[in-house]
Amino acid sequence: MTPAAMLATAILLGAFVAAAGAYGLLYCAARISDRKMLRTGGYVSYMGLCLITLALVAFTPLHVGWKVFVVASCLIYLMIPPVTWRYLTRLHREERIR
Amino acid sequence: MYRSQRLGLKYLTASTVMFGAMVAFGLLSSIYYIWPGFLLNVFNFNTAKIVHIDGLVIWLLMGFLGAIYWFLPQELECEVEGIALAEILFWVFCAAVAVVVAVLIFVQYGAASESSMWFINQGRKYVEAPRWAALGIVAVMGVFAYNVIGTAVKARKTTGILTVLIFDLVPLVVLYLDAFPEIRNMSQDLFWWWWLVHLWVEATWEVLIGCIMAWTLIHLVSASRRVVESWLYVEVAMVLGTGILGLGHHYFFIGTPRYWFAIGGFFSALEPLPLLGMVVHAVYDAGSNHLRAANRPAFYWTLAEAFGNFIGGGVWGFMMTLPQINLYSHGTQWTASHGHFAFWGAYGCGVIAVLYLALEKSRGYDGLDSRAWRWSFALLNIGMLGMVGALLVAGMDQAFYERAIGGSTWGAFLAMEGRPWFVEGMWTRSAFGLLFACGYATLVYDLLTARRPEAAVTESMAAAGS
């Protein structure tokens, strides 16, 4: 790994989690306020996450195992906000019924 | 108010004082990076750094103890068992901290002997307190465990949050015993030492703050206990699932077998996943309450906790957790940047949220609001963002030039000290550190003068009228 590749890889890894966070935040904000702009922002963030994943896979010297892990994480990050949201909504609904 | 809650307030006050000491010694430590000869042979950098980091551990620990002594009697609707002993130990704890700080300032170090370890400095990073004081911490934690478990037994009752807390007390007390052994092989020593440092911070403390934030949400926004407890179980399972073996990211390049590269990298790379779940939960709760709560400072500090934990721990951590990157980033200012951000987000913000919650209830107010808390919130968070940003730039410069290009030689280290990005990074860190210190001063001012919301509104209307 060259010094430049090390730095680029690290920045991409940080951006990877930041994009996942932005997607989660905007997804939830869109669910609360029902604003189209926020929903679009969430999709754009996730697209950003996919592009970062692509860059990590195609251009960084990470071992293939880590690249598979990054791709799998990208897919898991897609599911976390909706699954968590559904779980929280169900919990609150059950609580209201009780 | 229960006696235990009065004790909780004392712990929270002591915690705030230690927070100030930590900030002061942090500022002092930052000066050495700008003027390397500063206070040379009078008060060396290593001692200032010890007081700064140990001050961090103590202010958070005192904050956690204060929070639990505050919530516990409310949870079980009875006085805490053994409260008299806990009150005595509070003063012993404070006196011991004062003596240890005085010894570290005025004596600093001694000969490489048993007596130095007993009375000056145990010499283990982050738990440098002399052995007698470390034994004192074991006693305090032992009594704390007795208080919690004894109260649950006395009340013949437990709750989901309390059960999680009781299970967490076992590693909380037992792992601290790792501060004592003298192991002469450095690899073996580091192997076990990380059990104390990592498993306390990234496992038992995470669970502890999870329990504290669960109680905070119940009291702050009247969150449903069942919802909060269900979510706590999920989060604890995920945090422990990733955090325990995430320990492996400290085992890179310290003489441990190679399989730790895969284990440490994999599990620590999973650590952002539960943190994202926490962000979703925070946004859900904030949305349900329309970003409104009677106690606005506590509410906003709770939100800051969720986001700070994700960014400081998740984003900053993932940047440098894979072994290929960690080889170069380890031990640079990059690590310091991650450490500052993660501790602030995960624990610091949470303790401040509890401070405001306890303040509101202890003064008999129904809600809190003022201009000062907004200033302190902004100054502390901007100060922290500026510090970690500056440290990140300086650390990346270090990893690039000193480590990757320079090969970590002594010459590369010395050359690094003069590089513009590193030097400017250190100046910027100190400037934002000063801003953070102003935020701390504003926080203390607000805690001393905090008022209920209607009083603040009346005053601002009067000001607008005049």
Tell me which residues of chain A have a C-beta less than 8 Å from any C-beta of chain B.
Answer: 1-4, 6-7, 9-11, 13-14, 16-18, 20-21, 24-25, 27-29, 31-33, 61-63, 65-66, 69, 73, 76-77, 80-81, 84-85, 87-88, 91-92, 94-95, 98
Triad B324, B328, B331: Cα angle to 5°? 125
Residue whose tokens read 């200032």: B48
Is residue B366 within 8 A of residue B307, CB to CB? The reply is no
Torsion, Cα of A34, A36, A38, A40 (10° steps): 140
Triad B71, B10, B175: Cα angle to 5°? 70
Residue whose tokens read 């990050």: A77
Cα-trace Rg, chain B: 22
pLDDT tens string B312-322: 988 999 999 89
Among candidates A7, A17, A25 on the partner chain, residue whose Cβ is nearest the Cβ of B315: A17
ipTM confidence: 0.91
CA pseudo-torsion sign B240, B352, B127, B148: negative
CB contact under 8 A, B227 and A95: yes
pLDDT tens string A9-62: 999 999 999 999 999 999 999 988 888 999 999 999 999 999 999 999 999 999
Does the pTM exceed 0.90?
Answer: yes
B291 touching A (Cβ < 8 Å): no
Distance between CA atoms of residues B339 and B351, nearest Å: 17
Helix, coil or strand: residue B368? strand
Distances (CA, A) of B364 to B39, B71, B74, B221, B454: 47, 16, 15, 17, 14
DSSP bridge pairs for A37: none
Residue with the larger pLDDT of the pair B285 and B46 = B46
Distance between CA atoms of residues B315 and A17, nearest Å: 5
Residue of A nearest to B261 (CA): A66
At B64, list the tokens: 């956690």
Q: Where are the domains of chain B?
A: 1-158, 304-458
Count CB-CB contacts under 10 A for residue A35.
12
Provide CB contacts within 8 A for A28, sequence distance 6+.
A81, A85, B279, B280, B283, B284, B287
Which of B20-24, B332-336, B454-458 is the least confident region? B454-458
